[in-house]
Amino acid sequence: MLTAKQRELLIFIQRKLEETGISPSFEEMKDALDLKSKSGVHRLISALEERGFIRRLANRARALEVLKQPDDVAASRPAAANDAVGGVVTPPRAMPSPANDVIEVPLHGRIAAGAPIEAMEDFQSLPVPAALLGAGDHYALEVSGDSMIEAGIFDGDYALVRKTSTARDGEIVVALIRNEEATLKYLRHENGKIRLDPANGAYDPQIYDDSEVQVQGKLAGLLRRYN
């Protein structure tokens, strides 16, 4: 059995998902149920989760899935789209994908946008809007230096990188140099060499033998914090 508030919250979440495809925020749930604080929402969600009515989707912020409705609500709903109507069965309407999904991507330390520095390998994570990423596996690196400022990449930005070992000339890549240092630069092939070009007139291109450079990803997006 659900309490009145648990039932009210469950119906509110389901209605929001049906209307928009987006889970309501804690603020919206607090206001809808006329609660005094978000901690009350947390308790209600935990109770619904324990009873198997909802579940939280992993690696996504504000993403809830309704697994079942109270019996009295399910019985009183109109016929679903996949019920037989006039002998014809129609498929259910697909729910729209949540537009506010946030994905946790690995954050692998700092990367140089100046002289190469060692790329740290740690196991932190960074929440990133899914719309910034697209297909493929991604990771994030904090930018250190100013050699890419003319490309709009500044010290302290977070570079969102799609994993790949290949790239075309002119693409911004994470280049691992001599298996020791990593840098963020434009990639160029020139006379059998690899040229890594900055986007700042104060820096010179870096030229290496092809065997000295490994592409470890292409720039997919940026995150910037404003203090």
Mean pLDDT, all residues of the chain: 79
H runs (alpha helix) in the chain: 4-20, 26-32, 38-50, 71-76
Residue 90 has pLDDT above 60, yes or no: no
Neighbours of 184 (CB within 10 A): 30
152: burial class by Cβ within 10 Å (0-12, 13-18, 19+)? Answer: exposed
Tokens representing 216 are: 């470890």
pTM: 0.55
- For 115-141, what is the mean pLDDT? 71
pLDDT tens digits for range 185-195? 999 999 999 99
Identified catalytic residue from 16, 30, 185, 218: 185
Tokens representing 169 are: 């000339």
CA proximity to 183, closest of 224, 209, 217: 217
Does the active-site annotation cover 125? no
Does the active-site annotation cover 147? yes
Identified catalytic residue from 37, 147, 163, 193: 147
- For 56-68, what is the mean pLDDT? 70
- For 140-156, what is the mean pLDDT? 91
- For 85-104, what is the mean pLDDT? 49
